[in-house]
């Protein structure tokens, strides 16, 4: 089979779909069994979540320890393939505990739906015409989601902007919708589509796009932590020196987009892992985070800040859009996501957002502390060394013993692992 033009794949049963992969990609029965092992999910369940399903792609699920958020201890599930992320978050959370852990809050769960009007002869006049119909717009939007309205959410306000573009001015209406415990994309897109014809009728323009904005500046999550200087010192450096190092690292990121992309990526290591573990849309969170980092002060900046308090302790903060939900979407149907939400003990989307922001701050603090002191590789290397040791044939206790030597010698390589293992086994035989 050579053509990828395959119609009706979605109508085939699992066996037939696997047969296509077998023929097209030369996949073996063992490989197909791996892909087709849907674990905690029934094939039917996965099949209803997306199209053309052939199986699942599992990720490791770890649990971060030591987190205290708004006075409550939480164990935080994190789904991620990258070594060291869970350990780093747990370490940072332990260091934050001395000064009470994380104090987090949210702005409320308001998302923005955009409606694009083009070809309006008098854009500024049209703006005021639309604003004059605010109540009518809100009423017709809210008719589309009585359940959301019943729970205290729904469309709450209207804003209109005139945006200059390469194709002339566009009149862009923002519908502000309180999404309560839903992520809200479906509700917002439905509302935006419903009110569009009225906007055309009032302004004489033509509507094109009607869609949620991921720059969710009205759905922010924030967290703050004080890292006691004594709690963050290392074997080689005093607490004061570590604080200074982290301040230098933060200043670098906040001034230089090349560094800032990596700095913010480190934040997202923690954030995405919890977002994925709870079945939320990590692309929406990623898009919102980076757009916010660029939007809030006219250049790409750090999502976190660091300062010293009067006593010389390090004060860290984070603020970013956090469009996550608990109802609707995968969170409500994915059994692992449901168990993870239960473990977190959160009852509202805002509480979840607060924990996620705290993890982002912890992750960033851990990365900066490592980078500004011993460097990131040593921590990374110990887990990597265990993988190398196992690949070289070490089993049971041998794995840790071989890995220890590789890390100590800073030679985390297969050839050295094989030598160390042979040596170890030689000694055992004697
Ligand atoms: C690696 O996944 C993340 C870091 O690069 C983040 C950073 O540099 O701040 C360690």
- How remote is the CA of residue 55 from the centroid of ligand 1, in Å? 31
CATH of the domain at 174: 3.30.70.420
Mean pLDDT computed over 176-205: 96
- Mean pLDDT value across residues 248-264: 98
For a mutational test of ligand 1's pocket, the pick from 263, 272, 293, 306, i.e. the residue with the most ligand atoms closer than 8 A to its C-beta, is 263
Q: Are residues 359 and 424 in the same domain?
A: no
Q: What is the rounded average pLDDT of the residues 279-304?
A: 97
Tell me whether residue 65 is in a domain: no
pTM for this predicted structure? 0.92
Q: What is the pLDDT of residues 271-283, one digit of tens each?
A: 999 999 999 999 9
> Looking at the structure, do residues 141 and 228 belong to the same domain, yes or no?
no
pLDDT of residue 333: 87
- Nearest protein CA to atom 2 of ligand 1, as residue: 266
Which of 145, 181, 272, 281 is catalytic? The answer is 281
Question: Of 339, 358, 373, which one is at a domain's C-terminal end?
Answer: 373
Q: What is the mean pLDDT of residues 249-275?
A: 98
pLDDT value at 5 more than 80:
yes
Do 326 and 231 reside in the same domain of the chain? yes
pLDDT tens digits, residue range 348-400? 999 999 999 999 999 999 999 999 998 877 777 877 899 999 999 999 999 99
Last residue within a domain, chosen from 185, 213, 241: 213
Domain that holds residue 122: 110-213
Within 6 A (CB) of ligand 1 lie 82, 262-263, 265-266, 269, 367, 371, 376
Q: How far is the CA of 263 from the centre of ligand 1 (A)?
A: 6
Exactly one of 133, 174, 265, 384 is catalytic; name it: 265
pLDDT of residue 1: 59
With cut-offs at 50, 70 and 90, classify the pLDDT of residue 430. low
Determine which residue's CA is closest to atom 6 belonging to ligand 1.
Answer: 266
Q: Does pLDDT of 344 surpass 80?
A: yes
**292 in the same domain as 253:** yes
Per-residue 3-state assignment (H helix, E strand, C coil) for the chain: CCCCCCCCHHHCCHHHHHHHHHHHHCCCHHHHHHHHCCCCCCHHHHHHHCCCCCCCCCCCEEEEEEEEECCEEEEEEEECCCCCHHHHHHHHHHHHHCCCCEEEEECCCEEEEEEEEECCCCHHHHHHHHHHCHHHHHHHHHCCCHHHHHCCCEEEEEEEEEEEECCEEEEEEEEEEECCCECCHHHHHHHHHHHHHHHHHHHCCEEEEEEEECCCCCCEEEEEEEECCCCCCCCCCCHHHHHHHHHHHHHHHHHCHHHHHHHHHHHHHHHHHHHHHCCCCHHHHHHHHHHHHHHCCCCCCCCEEEEECCCCCEEEEEEEECCCCCECHHHHHCHHHHHHHHHHCCCCHHHHHHHHHHHHHHHHHHHHHHHHCCCCHHHHHHHHHHHHHHHCCCCCHHHHHHHHHHHHHCCCCHHHHHHHHHHHHHHHHC
Instruction: Tell me what pLDDT residue 380 has.
Output: 73
């Amino acid at each position: 089979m050579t053509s990828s033009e395959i119609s009706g794949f979605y109508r085939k049963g699992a066996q037939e779909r696997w047969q296509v992969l077998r023929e097209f990609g030369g996949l073996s029965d063992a490989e197909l069994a791996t892909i087709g092992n849907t674990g905690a999910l029934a094939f039917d369940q996965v099949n209803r979540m997306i199209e053309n399903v052939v199986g699942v792609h599992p990720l490791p699920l770890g649990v971060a320890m030591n987190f205290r958020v708004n006075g409550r201890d939480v164990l935080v599930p994190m789904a991620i393939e990258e070594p060291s992320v869970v350990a780093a978050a747990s370490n940072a959370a332990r260091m934050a505990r001395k000064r009470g852990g994380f104090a987090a809050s949210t702005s409320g769960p308001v998302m923005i739906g955009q409606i694009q009007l083009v070809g309006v002869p008098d854009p500024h006049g049209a703006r005021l015409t639309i604003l004059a119909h605010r109540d009518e717009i809100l009423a017709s939007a809210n008719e589309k989601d009585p359940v959301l309205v019943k729970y205290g959410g729904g469309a709450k306000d209207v804003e209109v902007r005139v945006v200059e573009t390469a194709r002339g001015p566009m009149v862009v209406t923002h519908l502000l919708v309180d999404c309560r415990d839903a992520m809200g994309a479906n509700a917002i897109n439905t509302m935006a589509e419903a009110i569009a014809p009225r906007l055309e009728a009032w302004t004489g323009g033509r509507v094109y796009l009607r869609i949620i904005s991921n720059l969710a500046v009205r759905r922010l999550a924030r967290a703050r932590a004080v890292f006691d200087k004594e709690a963050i010192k290392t074997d080689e450096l005093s607490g004061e020196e570590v604080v200074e190092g982290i301040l230098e690292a933060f200043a670098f990121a906040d001034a230089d987009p090349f560094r800032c992309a990596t700095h913010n990526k480190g934040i997202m290591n923690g954030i995405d892992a919890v977002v994925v573990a709870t079945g939320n849309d990590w692309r929406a969170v990623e898009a919102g985070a980076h757009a916010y980092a660029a939007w809030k002060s006219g250049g790409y900046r750090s999502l976190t800040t660091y300062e010293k308090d009067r006593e010389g302790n390090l004060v860290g903060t984070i603020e970013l859009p956090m469009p996550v939900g608990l109802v609707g979407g995968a969170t409500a149907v994915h059994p692992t996501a449901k168990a993870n939400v239960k473990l977190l003990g959160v009852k509202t989307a805002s509480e979840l957002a607060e924990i996620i922001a705290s993890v982002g701050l912890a992750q960033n603090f851990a990365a900066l502390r490592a980078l500004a002191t011993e460097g990131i590789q040593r921590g990374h290397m110990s887990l990597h060394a265990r993988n190398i040791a196992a690949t070289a044939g070490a089993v049971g206790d041998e794995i840790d013993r071989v890995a220890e030597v590789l890390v100590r010698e800073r030679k985390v390589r297969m050839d050295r692992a094989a030598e160390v293992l042979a040596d170890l086994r030689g000694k055992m035989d004697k």
